[in-house]
Amino acid sequence: MSVITSSQLSTLIIILENELGYLEKKSLEYLDSKTANFGKANFTKYWRDMRPAFQGQPWCACFLSWCAAKAGIPQGIVPVFYDCDVGMQWFKVRGQFLSYSETPNSGDIIFFGKPGDATHVGFVLRVENWRVYTIEGNTSAGTSVVANGGAVCAKDYALNNPKILGYGRPKYEEDKDMPCTYEEFKAHMKTFIEENAAKLPHPDKAPAEFELAKASGITDGTRPQDFATRQEAAVMVYRAMIKD
């Protein structure tokens, strides 16, 4: 099953942030410039690259699709969609839609509008202090939900904003830093020690120092190729410090 990797998600966020400040154009000129040829005709580089025949149409969904495509995210994970309702239904039929009362995660797709009519969409960056922070295309600055606002902006809203319909949740790579049992940990450490024995301290590399440490009672000399716990290390340092 395809998922968004952590690398792809990081790339997607960078792409989204790099587009902040982009303004729609009044004609097909200077589409790649962030601010030149500003107008209210909905002409953008996003339509040019994704669906040229749709130039002049509202572009919040196209913007999101463009960024996901640039990040190399498969369409089966974040769909290419140009209508907000279509995008919302895509997540709903796959059981990947969270209601407005649920708390989103970074990477979720936020949908706005009224029940049965999604009119705007954005990307969730994070949730903090009961507010959701987003990046959206075709909106404007401020804390109001603005569809067809003409710019790429960073926004934030109260989680209970009545215009939030819910969140599409793409499938992301699972956290590989999973807990393990004590026995599994010991097995991992045994393998590590065997693979790295040549790199670990050994009495053969410092025989005089090793024998002196044993004779002074700093260490009993056991487990010369094993790791010392923090408590054992502290005891050895303490014993070394109190020796005349």
What's the confidence (pLDDT) of residue 1? Answer: 46
Q: Choose between 5 and 101: higher pLDDT.
A: 101
CATH number at residue 156: 3.90.1720
- Write the pLDDT tens digit of every residue in 108-149: 999 999 988 999 999 999 999 999 999 999 999 988 999 999
Q: Is residue 175 part of a domain?
A: no
- Report the number of distinct structural domains present in the chain: 2
Can you tell me whether residue 21 is helix, strand or coil? coil
Residues 106 and 214 grouped into a single domain: no
Average pLDDT score over residue span 172-184: 61
What's the mean per-residue pLDDT of the chain? 87
166, β-bridge pairs: 99, 111
Residues 89 and 161 grouped into a single domain: yes
Q: Give 232's contacts (C-beta < 8 A, 6+ positions apart).
A: none
Residues 130 and 199 grouped into a single domain: no
The pLDDT of residue 240 is above 90: no
Band of residue 175 on the pLDDT scale cut at 50, 70, 90:
very low
What's the confidence (pLDDT) of residue 149? Answer: 96
The pLDDT of residue 38 is above 80: yes
Q: Final residue of a domain: which of 168, 202, 226?
A: 168
Q: Which domain holds residue 218?
A: 182-242
Q: Which residues of 159-173 are buried (b: 16+ CB within 10 A; e: fewer)?
A: eebeebbbbbbbebe
The whole model's pTM is what? 0.71
Residues 115 and 215 grouped into a single domain: no
Q: Is residue 98 part of a domain?
A: yes
Contact 113, 89 (CB under 8 A): no
Q: Find the DSSP H helices in the chain.
A: 6-18, 45-50, 60-70, 84-93, 182-195, 207-215, 230-242
Residues 108 and 203 grouped into a single domain: no
The pLDDT of residue 187 is above 80: no
Residues 198 and 83 grouped into a single domain: no
Q: Final residue of a domain: which of 168, 201, 225?
A: 168
What's the confidence (pLDDT) of residue 199? Answer: 57
**CA pair distance 220, 207, nearest whole angstrom:** 14
Contact 48, 54 (CB under 8 A): no
Residues 228 and 145 grouped into a single domain: no
Q: Final residue of a domain: which of 121, 138, 168?
A: 168
Residues 57 and 146 grouped into a single domain: yes
Element (H, E) at 202: none
* Triad 66, 75, 111: Cα angle to 5°: 65
What's the confidence (pLDDT) of residue 205? Answer: 59
What's the confidence (pLDDT) of residue 90? Answer: 96
Nearest alpha-carbon partner for 138 in 79, 72, 83, 88: 83
- The length of the chain in residues reads 244
